[in-house]
Amino acid sequence: MQESANVLDVQKILNEKARRRSLLTNLLPFTGLTFIFVFFVIVTNGKMLSSGNVTNLISQCFSVSLVAVGASFVYAHGGMDFSIGVSSGVSQLVAAMIITAAGLPTWMAIVACILTAVLCSTIVGATSAFLRVPVFVVSLCMRAICTGALTVGISKSDIAIDYLKFNAFNNAFLKLGVLLVVIAIGYYLFEYTSLGKSEKAIGGNAITAFQAGVKVKKCQIIAYTLMGFCVGIAAFFQLIRTGSVSGTSGSGLEFDIMVAIVLGGFPMTGGSAAKLRAAIIGALTITILSNGLILWGMDYLLINGVKGLLFLTIVAISYDRSNLTQVSITSS
């Protein structure tokens, strides 16, 4: 009887610790977002809240948050993609070529932009799933291919579009509306459908998920396709915003998404703890951080260094080392 009581006491302690850890994990991203926002409002003397900067923030948040919605499905099953930045650039290149061609309608450029991004992402997911090649290897190869295509496409000069002709698309309210619709659809798919549950199950344990009847390869490919769809939408609006395609179009997007994932408390390995809201909070945080640092006077060339240091710090603190510990004990 005494042993049973001790076991129950230990279990209560463990449950309480798990509850506190879960509460801390859920509160930290909100706290971090609030702190960063208030901090930069103060140190920039309110410039953060100026009408021009708010419009700029919406445009910046739009791209990262939109792609973060699609990326959540990929990261939920433990996947990743280092090519989404340059694939966004190639998608913008295709759209710009159609726009500058005489007589072709705008909707064709939008569709082509989205399909290009979907194709790139789906190839990454399908190649990794069917050929059993590590996804980071496949995505690096896709990144190299897209970089070559982008370089060839602008070899003579950057491709510019008539900015004023598409000014209606560069509207903060339109972007906000599109973003809210994508978040709503993404949230429903991620939290309330078998697709979202399957992605998280694969992230928890792919073998167990397969034995439970989950079509692992199909779910992985669908996740990459959804991410490509979001990348394509963001790419078109980015093209309209900048008005041209260059060798740096889309550059750094993949890193911003990775930082957003960890900042929001989204587990890098996926699993049941993955929440779509975490990716959105992280996307808002990284956008406000980048914007605030620029307003504060930091050289934009140093901002990626700050992001990298922040990413390394959070991963070092939050990474689950239990499996590494078990391997170390077994091998010793």
Distance set, CA 291 to CA 58, 129, 295 (Å)? 11, 37, 6
Tokens of 314: 């959070």
Name the residue among 99, 69, 81 with its Cα closest to residue 164: 99
Give this prediction's pTM. Answer: 0.85
DSSP code string of 104-121: --HHHHHHHHHHHHHHHH
d(C-alpha 68, C-alpha 35), whole Å: 21
DSSP state, 159? E
**Residue 91, H or E segment:** helix 84-100
- pLDDT tens-digit profile of 296-313? 888 777 787 877 787 777
SS3 string, 173-215, reads HHHHHHHHHHHHHHHHHHHHCHHHHHHHHHHHCHHHHHHCCCC
Domain edges within the chain? 51-315
Quote the pLDDT of residue 228: 96
Specify the CATH number for 51-315; select among 3.40.50.300, 1.10.3470.10, 3.40.630.30, 3.40.640.10: 1.10.3470.10
DSSP state, 160? E
d(C-alpha 277, C-alpha 72), whole Å: 9
Q: How confident is the model at residue 329 (pLDDT cuts 50, 70, 90)?
A: very low
- pLDDT tens-digit profile of 91-135? 999 999 999 886 688 899 999 999 999 999 999 999 999 999 999
- pLDDT tens-digit profile of 90-100? 999 999 999 98
Q: How confident is the model at residue 11 (pLDDT cuts 50, 70, 90)?
A: low
Q: Which one has a higher pLDDT value, 77 or 303?
A: 77
Contact 110, 208 (CB under 8 A): no
d(C-alpha 153, C-alpha 141), whole Å: 18
Quote the pLDDT of residue 188: 95
d(C-alpha 190, C-alpha 230), whole Å: 14
Mean pLDDT within 233-262: 89
DSSP code string of 238-276: HHHHH-EE-TTTTTTHHHHHHHHHHHTT--TT-STT--H
Quote the pLDDT of residue 330: 34
